[in-house]
Amino acid sequence: MPADQIHIKDLLLRTIIGINEDERRNKQDVVINITLYTNHTAAASDDIKYTVNYRTITKQIINLVENSHFFLVEKMALEIVKICLADPRVERAVVTVEKPGAVRFARSVGVTVDRQQGDTLA
Q: How far apart are CA 24 and CA 31, in angstroms?
A: 18
> What distance lies between CA 32 and its chain's CA centroid?
6
Q: How far apart are CA 85 and CA 33, in angstroms?
A: 15
Domains of the chain: 4-116 (3.30.1130.10)
- For residue range 43-85, list pLDDT tens digits in order: 888 888 888 999 999 999 999 999 999 999 999 999 999 999 9
Looking at residue 101, what is its pLDDT? Answer: 84
Checking if the pLDDT of 40 tops 90, the result is no
Given a contact cutoff of 8 angstroms between Cβ atoms, the answer to whether 89 and 38 are in contact is: yes
Buried (b) or exposed (e) across 100-113, using 16+ Cβ within 10 A?
eebeeeeeeebbeb
Checking if the pLDDT of 122 tops 80, the result is no
Helical residues (DSSP H) of 1-122, grouped into ranges: 21-25, 41-45, 54-66, 73-85
Closest to 20 in 3D by CA, of 102, 78, 75: 102
Mean pLDDT of 103-111: 92
